[in-house]
Every structure is written in structure tokens, then in C-alpha cells.
Structure 1
Amino acid sequence: MSAALTLAACGTFDGGTASSSDGDEQTLTVSLQFTPRANYALETDDALVLTQVGCLETLLTYDDEAGALRPALATEWRQTAPTVWEFTLRDGVTFQDGTDLTADAVARSLRHVLDADTPPRAFTPESVSAVEAVDDATLSITTPEPSALLPYRLASGNTGILARAAYGDQGIDPIGHCTGPFTPVSQVAGQSISLERNEDYWGEPAEIAHVEARFIAEGATRATQVQTGESQIALGVPVTSLADLRDDDDVEVTEEFTPRTTGLYFNLARAPFDDLAARRAVQAALDLDAMASGVYAGGAQPAVGPFAPGELWAPEDAVAPTRDPAAAERLLAEAGYEPGELSLTLLAYTERPEFADLAAVVQADLEAIGIDVEVRSSNYSAIEPSLLEGDFDFALLSRNHLTDIADPLGYLTSDYSCAGSYNISQHCDQDIDELLSSANTMDAPEDRATVYGDVARHLQDEAITAFIVHEQTYAAHRTSVSGFVDDPLARYAVTADVTLGRS
């Protein structure tokens, strides 16, 4: 999961449900994995909910298959000076409240997230100095230092654009203030959001008239709803439900490689994991093959570091650690701990249904070398304060390294730089910070890949995180649905291309 879902908050608009279908007026119901918790504040992961349901749009979008940026609300972008980029806005776009998309409106929207108490990792004062309207159709963004990656930041859901009226004292109100193919009309706070087709959409209008998006944290429930027809699309289907779904002739299961790696994040700021030997002991104790084949039913592969083999950024010689309990025991003794002396708490969250089984395997593997582990599992919002405050031993986290920006720099900076906004590991190495700073100025992806490979090797060799598996993502939809694509970057679910036939 992309990081820092903030604590739960009330919704910003009235409850209700989507209208019923009349004649050809079709309603699509989709079961989403995560619940908005921050009044749709765009600096949080709530922004992804708004992009998934077809409301919020960004200046650019990232084509993960082509590995390239594509136009969205902006049609052109160019670097006019070493620290200045200009973006030309798409002509004729209006917000759903009828106001025009202008450079001034875009600048106000982007400055809102830039000025947030906790700006999103993709768009911070450390990466952006100023956002200004040049004229109605041209936006200028200045960076503190030359940055080849500034356009990638404008493809992040956190930099989605809302109309000026969306920003109120009580939070974000998305009703009538997006530009996407669907506009929100009501919500039941913490349960669902209802949308209708945007008849004035700048692109091809959607065929579907109504969308009901439900927030279902329990993976098995999402799977059941798509089987019963309560929903037509379910995201984040757990591997334990795949067999039943695949046996259902009315359901299609999709699987996609995702740039997502699950790992044990150590708290390096306190014992025992302030000691390299203790971290390596845990790394050597874990049976990654058993986890990938058992917990993930073969739908994952043992991790060779933060990046999977075959990704541009993975070192060519990277291999997954093999389980070696004898070496783990020696390393634990080197760190000064006798068997049975260490008692630790492992944090996990329920939005990832596989974490219950994964935590149990970690617990058993560490018990075998004399470490007692208590597992504390709850929804993410309940454990996040402990993570951000550094009040934990270690935690299971699933991190997508292209969600913040469509380049690993965002993830590596937030998680592993000295001042990283999600550096829960408390990792700080000035050499690594200098490497990441150098990558920001590199135009060629191959040059940046060399830097990221060096950082990945450091993280693995120093056991900064015990990387466990590289994941696939699974989704399910009724066979009556066409045009649905399970986005490996978790940005989109309901798009104008999705249609619903008669089953």
C-alpha cells in the first residue's frame, strides 16, 4: 500500500445511494479495497479513491506498459530553463461545476497540496519551489534544482486537479469539482460513494450512467460480492478466493505484475534492529520460498531486494536470500542475544488479507531461532501512528515503488532518505542521499537505473528492510463487464472505457 493513509475523518457530503437503472441507464457497482479516511484530502491516499472511481484527473498520466508519460489535462510540457517546466493545458475542459480549467485554477489546486501540513511525497517544497499561471492556458512550475523528473510528479494522483470551490474549511468536497468522466453525487461516509456520468466530459463520454463504489476492507467479502453479482468489479482479490472465482463461469479473474514488494520494515532507531547482525539474523531466518508458494499460492516470487528481477532498476546479480537457521542463530549471538531473550511485536494490517498468514509464518520462522514474536494486526489507520512516531519493533508493509511518482526516486526518497516523509525505518546514510539527489537531475532512465540499483544493493546488503516477496495483483469482474483493466499502479478502476453488457 502506498503510505500514510491518515486517521479516519467524517465525509464531506450527504449520504445516499446511486439511482436505479432505468431502461439503458446502467449502474456499475465496484468493490474497492481501501476506505477514504481524510475527507478526500489530496495529499493522502484518499486521492487514489477519487482517481479509481473516475472523478479526479491529473495533468499527465503514466503508461506503465510503454514506460512513458502521456497527456491528460495537459497536452504539452517542456523544460524552459534548468529549474523551470511549462505545461500547456488541454483546451475546452470544464470542471463538473461548469467553471473552466485554467492555469490559475490548476496552480491553486497544486499549491493546496504543496502547502499541506504533510505534503504528498510526490509534491513537496523540497521538490517544488513555485507554481504559477503564465496565462490562462500555461502553467509554470519551478524546482529548487534542475529536475528531470518533475513531469512524473504531475502524473501522481496526489496532484489531481479540483475546482476552486472544492476546498473548504471542513476538507475536500469532490461533488461537482472534478474533471473526470464520472461526478460524485452522494456518499455514505466510510461505506460507499455514488457517481453519475459526466455529460460534459472533455473526452469520450462514458456509456455507464451510474457508479456505486463500495469500500470493503475484507478481501473475501469483495470476492463474494462479485460472485453473487452484488458488485461487477472487485479489486485486490485475495489468493485464497482465486480457486472459487476461477470456477465461476460468470466471473473473470485478471492478474497483473505490480511494482509492489512486501517486506519487514525494521525500526533502526532502537534495539535490537539498530544492530546490523540482528537484522541479518531475521533476514537469514525467513523462508521466502515457502512464503511465496504457500501464503501467496505461487502468485508472488521471493524478493531479491526492493525491485523484482527484470525491472530496469534491479541489480543484475541480485538474488533472494536463502533460509539458513544456523547462520541466523550465529548472527543473533553476534548481536548479543541468547535464544529466548528477545520478545518483539510485529505490526500488520488487515487491508492486506494475506498478511494474517504471512505474519504467522514470520512468527514461526523467528521462533525457530529463539525470537518470540507477538503479532498485532488491525486496520492500517490504527497502526499508522505507531509507525510514524517510531514506536514499533518491525512491521509488515506492502509498498508499490511507482505509486508516488512513476519512477523509483519517489519511493526511495520517502522511505530511505534521511528526511524521507515515510522513513519509518529511521534510515539515514548521507551517501545514499547524495545518490538519490544525483538521480533527480538525470535525463536518461538508464542512468537513473544505475543509481537505483546501487541503492537497492545497499538496502539488501545492510538488511535495512527484509524484503519478502514481489507481488502480483488480482482483480475479478463479471463477464458482463468489458473494458476493465486492473491497473498495477492502483490509480484507475472505473474509466469511460468500462461498459456493462446484459448477462
Structure 2
Amino acid sequence: MSPARSLQQGTRYRVVVAATAAITVPALVTGCSVANSSHSDAASPDTLRIVLPQEPPTLEPCDASLTSTGVVVRSNITEPLVERNADTGDLEPRLADSWEQTAPTVWTFRIHPGVTFSDGSAFDAEDAAFSIDRTVNSTIGCDVDGYVFGDDELVVKAVDPTTVTVETQAADPILPLRISFVEMVPTTTSVDDKVRDPIGTGPYKVDYWDHGQRLSLVRNDTYWGTAPEYARAIYQWRTEGSVRAAMVLNAEAELATSLGPEDGAGDLGVAYPNNETTALRIDGTQAPLDDYRIREAIDLSVNRAGIVKALFQGLGEPAGQLVGSSIVGFDPDLESTPYSPDRAAQLVAEAKADGVPVDRQIRLIGRTGQFPKINETVEVIQNSLSKAGLDVKIEMMDTAGQLQYQVRPYPEGAGPMMLLIQHGNQAGDAQFTVDQYMRSDGYQSYFGTPGYDAQIDAAENTVGEARQAEFAKVIANEPKEVRQFAYIAHMNGVLAKSPTVSYAPNSATGDEMRLSEMTHADAPANG
């Protein structure tokens, strides 16, 4: 971890990323809840009741790149300077009206005037500079820090109340895309701890959070933009998809997320491409996983087609890469690894004959409720790996527990392990995937090679059509150069929606579910 530093006061900020800052989610979760059983989740025409697969681990805005946090926080409580259109991939204004590259290493953002936070204070360039600094420089371990900024150095300056400049060490053609992940907070926000009750400029603010029970957002009546239709949103969480679906069918909720086709949503189920890819991430730093043959055997043991057909009921497709089709760098001709259990067993036997300790137990870690049929998925994978000659133990964890193994710094003495991940590139450019998942020191990477890191560097320095081609090469080379992953499937999402609500989910819905896009349906129709 980088040594603790105090933020400079005034208009100039020196930003140095703490890429290995510790995650303090468990402590935050225990401290951010106010138990109050008197709160009601009774039906009301002005209230949206939403049921999620798990409770958000935090409402900290700088952790909004975490799916389970962003689905509540992003564009509801807080907003960024710039946002990406999920349908077109274009960057659009939000709290910044415009942005331009004013020097080879400098981008200038013009702040929208007249914006206020939910506490009534004005939002200006000082807040914007502070928010960027807090996200990438503080020692509180922001997920956006590792996910978006890597080891970059920035110099951020509030030039005047409506102008912010961001200077990079080298020319960065996608800096505005990076900045779109930074949620704006006031300068009064703590720089020493993550916040339990975030203040933002969004259309909603936190009303109450009964830890373990429900979380309520209430309309921000001083919102600078168009007022949303619903006065309140109440989030609850249920692990079982069938229970979530039944709550909508029984008019106990208006929306239920992360459903499977077998969960019984019926005519109220809405399928959509959710831009998520599931994969096994393999820690190749410890035996027996440090042997390339063992990692190849694991890859060959995954019956992707069978998992998609039998467990996901066709909602998805076998994956041969970590990015989806809407991402710069996706190669439509890249095929998934063929299912070959015999070859997998042969590779394990060869490694064993050479002294590789293939009998050493390997931990297979999954996150409860991460996607429908996750328990069955890990069981199928464990069974296939056992047939190949490997000893694999399943460990299912909640979000806070799994995060310890998902992001750096990883627990010491954890032993050989594989992590079942689900990655949705929210930014639209493969750089955000390879930087965090494939670099040797990536925020969510176990290992890599200097040669492969150099390939990533070369791709990141290209623009236009060349950028697409270079990243496609990088992604295609990962199994040859490193083989840290066994890709499983590009996923589709399903949500249940009451006929009283009009809402069209898109590829960003799993990461950012905007309440302002939800309106009262004119007629009892699902659409």
C-alpha cells in the first residue's frame, strides 16, 4: 500500500494511485446500517420496490464500479461528469457540458452551472477536482481506482468555478472515458474513510438503510435535472431467484433482478444482453496451478455449451474471450476452447509424472447470488475437474468475503485457488479489461508476463481502427501467453417487471439501474 498522504487544500491536487490499497468493505458494512424495524415496504403508487440478489456491500460512490454497489448508487444518488450511452457507446455530457484535449497531456472539462448536491450545497469545479483526487489518491481503497486508473499519475486543477483540467503523464486518448467512472461528491466528504450516507447530485438521496432488511432512496426535491416520476425506491434482497420472481408475481415488488429462465417470472420476465462474461480466474502463482498444463487442463474441462444449454437455458453463448461484442477489441472470430475431458486428463497425468503436486487441494471460490445457477455451475466445473484428476473444493462466499480474493492485495497463505468471476466492461474499451484482469500487477489479476504486459502497452498507445485490431490480438494471445482464465459464457440477463412499470433494460442495467428511466405504465402491459 502506498504511504498515507494528506490531500492538499486549495485548487491544485496531485493524484497518485494507490493500486494496492486495502479494501475495507466488511468494516463499512457493519457501520453503515441503521436498524429500524418500523420502516414499511407497503405498496404505494409512488414507490418502486426492487428486489436484488444480495445486499449492497457499500454505498460508497468511489466503489460504484462494483456491480452490487453501482446498481443502487450510480446515476441515482451520485452522477459523473461524463457518462457513456449504453446503446451507442458514445460519451455524453452529465455534470460537464463539454470536454476537450487542450494540450497533448491535458484534458479540460467545463462544469454545468447551477447544479446542487442533495444537501443544498452548490457543485462546482472544486468538488469535481476533489472527487477525482479522493477516488484515485486516498488510501481508502476505492474500487474505481484499481478498475479504471491503474498506476497512472494525474494532476487535477480547478482553474475557476466552471473549469477543471486533468493532466496525464503521457497522452491518454480515453481519459474522458476513465473520468466517466468518477462519481461526484462534495469537498466535505471524508478522505479518511468510506461514507455510509453518500451525498450526491443525483435525482435520489438515501432515506434509510436497515442493514440486512431494506434500503430506501427518496426523491431529491432539489435535483437540478428533470424530476423522476417515483418519489421513493425501496430495495430488498433475496438470494433465491424464484423468490425474487415470486415477489413481483405476487405484487410484493415491482422489479426483480438477476433471474434465470427457470425462476418462474413467466410473462413478466424481460431478457436483455447484460454485457457480462463469466470465467474462472486461475491463480498461476502456486502449485499445481503454476504449471501451464494444469491451467490448460482446467480450460479444456469446462463444458461451456453444456452449461449454457442446461443451466442457463440458452440465455447466453460460450465465451472465448473476457470482453463482449460491444467492446473495442472484441474478436468475433475468436472461438471458445473446445470441451476435451480426455485431453485434460492426459495433461494432468503428464504433469503428475513430472512431479507436479496435482493432488494438492485447489479452492474454487464463488459468490452467492452472483448470477442465476451459480451454485450448479461451480458444481459442474468441480465434477469435471475431479474427473481430470484434480482435487477441487468449492467455497461459496458473500460479496464482502469474495472481494478479499477478487482485488489486490490478496490474503496471504490462501493456497492454490480459482475464482469464478463475472466481468462486465462498463466502459466499452478493452483497455479497462486487460489493465485490471491481465496485467502482471492488475487490480484483479493474479499474474502475467513481461512480454504480455508489453503487448498491452502497445495496444493502449493506438487509436482508431488500429486500436481495435491491436486489442483483438492481445485478447487472442492471452491463452497462449498466460492462460490465467477459463472463459465460460457471455451472459444474458433476465428481470421481472410489474405491468405497472414502464422500463426498458439495456446492457448497462446490471451495473447501473437508473430509477429516473422508470415510469408508470399507461396500461397493464409488459413492455
TM-score by length of 2: 0.84
1:404-441 CA-partner distances (Å, limit 9, x unpaired): x4422122111111221111xx2222232223333334
CA RMSD of aligned residues (A): 2.8
Q: Does 1:326 find its partner at 2:336?
A: no
| Whole-angstrom CA distance in 1 between matches of 2:75 and 2:52 | 9
Amino acid of the structure 1 residue aligned with 2:295: R
Candidates 135, 138, 141, aligned match of 1:113: 135
Aligned residues: 486
2:165 maps to 140
The Cα shift of 1:74 comes to 0.8
Residue pair 2:58, 2:196 contacting (<8 A) in 1 also: no
Looking at structure 2, the residues matched to 310 and 72 of structure 1 have their Cα atoms a distance apart, in angstroms, of 22
Supply the distance in 2 between the matched residues of 1:169 and 1:314 (Cα, whole angstroms): 39
Q: Structure 2: which amino acid aligns with 1:286?
A: V
Q: 1:144 and 1:47, CA in 2 relative to 1: closer, same or farther beyond 3 A? A: farther
2:98 to 76, 83, 95: 76
2:261 matched to 1:245?
no
The AA in structure 2 aligned to 1:450 is A
1:366 alignment partner, one of 371, 385, 388: 385
Identity over the aligned pairs, expressed in percent?
Answer: 23
1:67 aligns with 2:89: yes
For 1:64 and 1:5, the matched residues in 2 are separated by: 30
Q: Structure 2: how far apart are the matches of 1:187 and 1:493?
A: 18
Higher mean C-alpha deviation, range 345-354 or range 3-12? 3-12
Summarize deviations over 1:158-181 as a string: whole Å, max 9, x none. x10122334376631546x21111
Q: Does 1:347 align with 2:370?
A: no
| Structure 1 spans left out of the alignment, 5+ residues | none
- Deviation of the 1:68 alpha carbon: 1.0
Change in 2 beyond 3 A, CA 1:83/1:480: same
Q: State how 1:316-465 maps to structure 2 within 5 Å.
A: 316-336=332-352, 341=359, 343-352=361-370, 353-387=372-406, 388-389=410-411, 391-403=414-426, 405-423=427-445, 426-444=446-464, 446-461=465-480, 462-465=482-485
2:289 counterpart (253, 266, 273): 273
For the Cα contact (< 8 Å) 1:194–1:213, is it kept in 2? yes
Please state how far the C-alpha of 1:314 moved relative to its aligned partner: 2.8
- Note the alpha carbon deviations across 1:363-383, whole angstroms, 9 max, x for none: 221222222322121213223
Letter paired with 2:93: P
Question: Contact conserved, 2:54 with 2:238, CA < 8 A, in 1?
Answer: yes
Cα distance in 1 between the residues matched to 2:505 and 2:270 = 8
TM-score by length of 1: 0.88
1:495 — aligned with what? 515
Q: 1:48 aligns with which of 55, 70, 73?
A: 70
Instruction: Give the match's secondary structure for 2:313.
Output: coil
Q: Which deviations, in whole Å up to 9, do the C-alpha atoms of 1:89-146 show, x marking residues without a partner?
A: 1121111111111000111122111123234224547224122101101111111211
Aligned to 2:52, which of 32, 44, 47? Answer: 32
Letter in 2 for 1:71: P
Change (3 A) 1:397 1:346: closer
Task: Determine which of 79, 87, 97 is the counterpart of 2:109.
Answer: 87
Select 1:259's aligned residue among 253, 257, 275. 275
Query: Is this contact kept in 2: 1:83–1:144, CA < 8 A?
Result: yes
* Shift, 1:13, TM fit: 6.3
Distance 1:223 1:279, change over 3 A: same
Does structure 2 conserve the Cα–Cα contact (< 8 Å) formed by 1:36 and 1:190? no
Distance 1:340 1:171 in 2: 42
**Superposed displacement of residue 299, structure 1:** 0.9
Alpha-carbon distance change, 36 to 141 in structure 1, aligned in 2, over 3 angstroms: same
Match of 1:475 among 483, 495, 499: 495
Secondary structure of the corresponding residue to residue 180 of structure 2: coil
